[in-house]
Amino acid sequence: LKPLNIPHLVSRLEQLLRERTAAPARVLVIDDDTELAEYCQIILESEGMEVQVLASPETIIEEVRSFRPELLLMDVHMPHYDGPDLAAVIRQFDEWSSLPIVFLSAETDLDKQVDALSRGADDFLTKPITAAKLIAAVKARVSRARALSDLLNKDSLTGLLKHASIKSAATSEINRARRAGYPVSIAMVDIDHFKGVNDSYGHATGDVVIASMATLLRQRLRQTDVMGRYGGEEFLVVMPHCPAEAAYQRLETLRQHFAQLRFRHDTTEFGVTLSAGMVCSEEAPDANGDTLVVLADEALYRAKRGGRNQVCC
């Protein structure tokens, strides 16, 4: 088997490495002692992490939902609240069942530390703590949690979210946009006559085409976009803060760039096209996430019926 389109694979590897190293870890610090919380915040921020501090945990559920921390750094003793109780509450939500929770407390009673660990914490650090130890503990937890989450949620061929993960990510993005009142556009993108690619050039070459499609999508990705491999050669793209006209232009550019790619099998060079269907939340004010995906899918069907290699709204 000859290596095909190596530049695409290399750029995808570089992209993966960038994501791993560049994305700042989001840490939520929950402590009634604001001075200590700020101490942690300054240390973690000096390492490039994004930190939010919650002095009183009444709003912890809302905070976790909106900030989407990758690690909770939590005090044990707080007025009216007990850290391990909070950890147990967080663990009742499926989506947070593996969210790293680390306690940082002056509590030296080993039984109480064991109790905290058995009720949902991953680690128990004791105060006073050095900057180096805090940084190392947080970084190690976050990077392992990311590796685990990639393994569970990402497709190995494209590095994009798998079907179930993109569906739930899309739903939560759409809900967030509805609550905050900004537009969100949804697109379904599908490679044209892909069966023919497999039939003519083989499955391995087909895989290269799919991976290249994903690379192109990532290159056009904005920080806030969410995308995934919805099916074999079908991709779902969610574009928050993107009105219909802007989304259409982005998809149209994507379509043109994809059509310009040249693939090779033995001595044959060939090109492939894509079709896309899109809808903007502003055009369907009452539609929920599922309905918007259905509307995008219907638009894709119109693009296919209309002759393929086109974007339909």
Q: Give catalytic residue positions.
A: 233
CA dihedral 74, 78, 82, 86 (to 10 degrees): -40
- When asked if residue 232 is in the footprint of ligand GH3 (CB under 6 A), the reply is yes
Give the nearest distance from C-beta 255 to Mg ion in angstroms.
14
One-letter amino acid at 313 equals: C
Q: How far is the CB of 199 from ligand GH3 (least distance, A)?
A: 9
**Judged by CB, which is closer to ligand GH3: 31, or 234?**
234
From 1-9, 138-146, 170-178, 187-195, give the range in contact with ligand GH3 by CB under 6 A.
187-195
Residues 28 to 57 in contact with Mg ion, rule: CB under 5 A: 32
Count residues binding ligand GH3 (CB under 6 A): 15
Binding of Mg ion by 163 (CB under 5 A)? no
- Is residue 306 at the binding interface for ligand GH3, with CB under 6 A as the rule? no
Q: Is 203 in the site for ligand GH3 (CB under 6 A)?
A: yes
75 touching Mg ion, by CB under 5 A: yes
| Binds 75: which of ligand GH3, Mg ion, none (CB < 5-8 Å by kind) | Mg ion
Interface pick for ligand GH3 out of 169, 233, 240, 254 (rule CB under 6 A): 233
List of residues contacting Mg ion (CB under 5 A): 32, 75, 77-78, 190-191, 194, 234
List of residues contacting ligand GH3 (CB under 6 A): 190-195, 198, 203, 206-207, 210, 232-233, 304, 308
